[in-house]
Amino acid sequence: MFTGIIESVGTVQSIHKEGKNFVFRILSELTPELSIDQSVSHNGVCLTVEDIDIENNIYRVTAIDETLEKTNLGKLKDGQKVNIERSVTLDKRMDGHMVQGHVDEIVECTAVKDVEGSTLFTFLLNPHKRHLLVPQGSVTLDGVSLTVARLNEMEFSVAIIPYTLDNTIIHFWKQGTKVNIEYDIFGKYLERYLEVYGKGWNSK
């Protein structure tokens, strides 16, 4: 589990294919603190550390084809930046919200606007998923825990403060950027509950 509070921005050093999978070598200042089999979030995608090169501050992770199809990791290029967060520990403050590292889909940025000291990013809303967002509710975009600032039937927006803009890959977002989204787990549990028990419950 993660919190959506980005610890560091890493750099993709190399990418190579193994069958349908992509193997990434990531340069990060966090490398000396990592261990084999540790879970690390990359743009909101939970991947397992497979190998560590402490001397060069590089570690290796693999994304399977299903992950590549559902997320923006398959579009990464050498030299590109990624948001990185290690899994939460029990002694860590929960500054963001409960993030699983299981991206649901990709959403497209439709507008970027400066608003009173912050930057407002607007995204197209999947009509089949709009019930999973609520005003002032939590959403994870490229691994960052954010609050829904505006919401309508077709779009939603998040407001980014300068610190977050400067210390994550959000400053690379622009109109047309495809971003990983993970909807709030509580909304997904409620959705599943209603799928399984909703009819019987409503009939009483």
DSSP 129-166: TGGG--TT-EEEETTEEEEEEEE-SSEEEEEE-HHHHH
What value does the mean pLDDT take over residues 52-68?
97
Q: What is the pLDDT of residue 18?
A: 95
Q: What is the pLDDT of residue 69?
A: 95
Query: Looking at the predicted structure, is the pLDDT value of residue 163 above 90?
Result: yes
* Helix extents (H) in 76-184: 162-166
Instruction: Report residue 190 as tokens.
Output: 């409620």
Query: Looking at the predicted structure, is the pLDDT value of residue 204 above 60?
Result: no
Q: Which domains does the chain have, with CATH numbers?
A: 8-86 (2.40.30.20), 105-191 (2.40.30.20)
| Single-letter residue type at 46 | C
Per-residue pLDDT band for 192 (boundaries 50, 70, 90) equals confident
Find the radius of gyration of the CA atoms of the chain.
18
What value does the mean pLDDT take over residues 62-91?
93
Higher pLDDT, 186 or 21: 21
Per-residue pLDDT band for 203 (boundaries 50, 70, 90) equals very low
Distance CA(25)–CA(27), nearest Å, equals: 7
**DSSP label at 170?**
G
Q: Scanning the structure block, which residue is given the tokens 């069958």?
A: 19
Give this prediction's pTM: 0.91
Distance CA(159)–CA(173), nearest Å, equals: 13
Higher pLDDT, 204 or 109: 109
In this predicted structure, which of 3-7, 35-39, 67-71, 92-96 has the lowest mean pLDDT?
A: 92-96
